[in-house]
Structure 1
């Protein structure tokens, strides 16, 4: 494997010049920088990360804390898309990632202990129980963290705009003549609280009366539970004309329950989802849903985490909203 000295000898420059060229420093000419980088590619030069870590006091490794209680793992299309965007961006910035967990080769450790064990420079936290004492311990530690869709006091957070997302869906149903709109939401999290706020706020502004029974407590990413709550809505004396499901994947369970009841979508009842995953585009009829901007969520989380690591004194903790967009489809009928 080629070394810095080999590159310096090949290019006829000093080791310091080679280092500056590879690190993009501006106090050498563009021609020298290009010549050094071309030689590095030709000679198969790979930086020694251990040496780089000793020099910079960084490992260039970021932790990812992702715990999906539904155990769908990276098959969870929404979070896998966010994390893929995060991974792509941090790699562009010169970092690797390590998944943080409680077990390592049969040894139990806390999330913070695992971060220290791997020497990560920072961590992104998504899809966890944010009330878990181990999560709180990590957030309050010396490890720079960015949370996705949850806010801790004086910590960096990247947030999908769930309030406006639910509001847009309600207003879309209203514009199509629906006045009896039900909402099956996920388990109680900060995301759910924001979606409920968006739902009730928009209903109030539109003058809609929402029966208590129309708002059902479900579980994210759980089609069976969604089907159960859908059947409860259908059993009401005056059932809703439109149902908002907690997410596109869970909506499948609700749609199956409607079909089993002999109802057609949207002729007999209208439905809407949330997330805008690929599944929503291939369902029949195509699902009206709110598409979260997974690419921007992941990229923004990566950028902010690296800023905290590389420029800690000038990077302020922020709550950064990321908006999405409404995707129309054939699952909502216009009522005269």
Structure 2
């Protein structure tokens, strides 16, 4: 194992890790992406041999076409929305750190995907070649979960072992408890035109299997703390907001509810503006740009009574608030050791 050499300085490398995206909105590209994603030990619902057969014989043949159609609806001129936003975010965080520190001392920041490209391995090679001796890994999930943060960190450890590289490692397991994060989410809702005297907020988070919660995953507790913190900042009364969960995978497991689709259907029957915000997603992706903006919105509009309106609040993406938040996380947890 190659130990990082800090004799020339304690250069910090930062890896911003997200789930990933298919390389193109086409069935075979989606199949390759989903095959890697859904076989991850932190994600799959069954032992590997059994799940591999089910996945490749039954799930992927149908799902690759349906998912490709969804991706085509949200694909942008510069490609995958999630990937382009993550790469812009990495560049802007690096620029912000250069602004705060000398260029010699500022960390090198790269985006990486747990599944697909740019891979964790390729990004780690770049950081090693840049002379980094300390590695700060930030999974881009504000609230940690077994199926997201744990999977991302596991992938980084596996890539480091394969590369034979052992930098001084700092792992950021969550950042939802930070005031700067809660402030940013609250400000994004306010900036979307929210009026606490007459509007309603629906917080929508990705669902997780109840089995994970029973094994000790504290994700739901973190989610509720986020909702409480943002609601307090917006001055919301108890009845002025709700929490729901979206995008459960269709398998044999029971998933955390209530489900966003059901809550949105109910909200369509109330003559009030409903602001949907997804604070668990650091950047907009399929689950927000398609599930919320296409699927949920269509269901809402199909039955909405007069006066009912659905307003989606974009994720923090590569905006100044998230750039400053992540730069501060890196400073406090990584550069403090330099």
TM range (shorter): 0.3 to 0.5
Q: Give me the TM-score of the superposition, normalised by structure 2.
A: 0.45
> Which has the larger Rg?
1
Q: Give me the TM-score of the superposition, normalised by structure 1.
A: 0.45
Question: Higher helix fraction: Structure 1 or Structure 2?
Answer: 2
